[in-house]
Amino acid sequence: MEHNRRYDDILYQSRPVSARHSPMSLQDRAAQFSPFAALSGHEDQIDETARLTDARVELTEEVRAELDQTQQWLLDHLDQQPVVSVTYFVPDSRKSGGAYQTVTGVVKGIDPWDRWLLLADGRRIAMDEVLLLKLCDAAEGAE
């Protein structure tokens, strides 16, 4: 293999030292070669697009009637501190759809005009978002 001898005079010299600039630290030099995100936020957008949401279930008239009947029973028996299991829709704040959540708790109150269900833990659930409202034993609410 033929060796090019044009740079033999500088090949083994130490690097030049600047009189004006101090040498860069190893950490700063390494930062110049670290990976970077060419499109800031792009990875977050991909993750958000991949995140799945549920579609809101359209209730039948029979289910609505059953929910209204259960709600009326709760209104009539609030003094007994009924325990319910509620499955309701929580709309997603970033894209269409949302998620269904189920909570169990003691009913503290019901606002029939604004259609809110208030649980003893302070949670307010819009009755228009409720998919399932089931009466439970008092022991289930203590869990």
Domains of the chain: 61-141 (2.30.30)
Comparing CA positions, the residue from 67, 74, 76, 72 lying closest to residue 106 is: 74
Comparing CA positions, the residue from 55, 84, 53 lying closest to residue 70 is: 84
pLDDT band at 15 (very low <50, low <70, confident <90, very high): confident
Least confident of 4-13, 64-73, 114-123: 4-13
79-95 per-position pLDDT tens digit: 999 999 999 999 988 88
**Residue bearing the bigger pLDDT, 122 or 49:** 122
Q: Is 74 helix (H, G, I), strand (E, B) or coil?
A: helix
Least confident of 54-58, 66-70, 119-123: 54-58
Tell me the whole-structure pTM to 2 decimals.
0.64
Tokens of 46: 């991909």
Q: Where are the alpha helices (DSSP H) in the chain?
A: 26-31, 42-50, 61-76, 138-141
